[in-house]
Structure 1
């Protein structure tokens, strides 16, 4: 028997137990927000001007390995979003004559945006419902970043891994 072992005594049950983990601490979960994603991802946003051509947009998309560009005016105000999907649609309409078109002719003007405080569940729901994959983060006409459906899913997967670890620790003790 190890030296540190002491058999239970009659009064042991009366003492206040202290534990390093509890159901509350292990299962407490704050609602994840867009800011949580931006904190991990960063707030870098690649943009293009409305008067720039699709040729310029395609080069930037390829160079940066991204799927969409935010379209902003000279003051940085959001005017639209240009996605690979927008370009493919235009390509189907004007084969061989697509790249000279202006971004403003092809971009999505009615852009769904979110705020930094919005929950990821809400953003994911809106993206799924609207069938789009990129959402600019805007507050008071100021662009703070962009979140993608991939960012949201990746963030949630990491959360699930952490939750699984917490549950394992709870079971093991």
Structure 2
């Protein structure tokens, strides 16, 4: 299974904020949109960074409530793990595990075209396993009937 197949199922909408937005604004967007991460893009759609719930928590732990007034650019991750629509789910899952990343922007033609989460990968792998299980069951049944 490929990343493009996950995006075809879940959609390509990407929630984002600007680097100059206050952390409080970003946290409100995450809450309203019910997402765990926001992409930070430049004016032409290229990835500048990623802000996750974890970054918000760390900023508050480090700076207290005043962290909420910090610009997103000061808190976001800039060394962001990315993937392409042509990457396999298995490869991205391995990289996410190695980097301990829960959200991965999908990049095509230097622009963010989607985002996948660890939950999306788990769901995709589960669907693959169910399909394989059904195929193996059918194969076993055909051998029992024929043998």
2:69 aligned residue (89, 96, 100): 100
TM-score by length of 1: 0.80
What is the aligned partner in structure 2 of residue 17 from structure 1? none
Unaligned runs of 5+ in 1: 1-31
Q: Which residue is 1:89 aligned to?
A: 58
2:92 — aligned with what?
123
4+ long deviations beyond 3 Å: none
Spell out the pairing of 1:129-140 with structure 2 (5 A cutoff): 129-140=98-109
SS in 2 for 1:97: helix
Partner residue of 1:159 out of 118, 124, 128 = 128
Q: What is the total number of aligned residue pairs between the two structures?
A: 142
Of 62, 68, 71, 2:37 maps to: 68
Would you say 1:144 and 2:113 are equivalent positions? yes
Deviation at 1:167, TM superposition (A): 1.2
TM-score by length of 2: 0.93
Task: Find the aligned partners of 1:128 and 1:87 in 2 and give their Cα distance.
Answer: 21
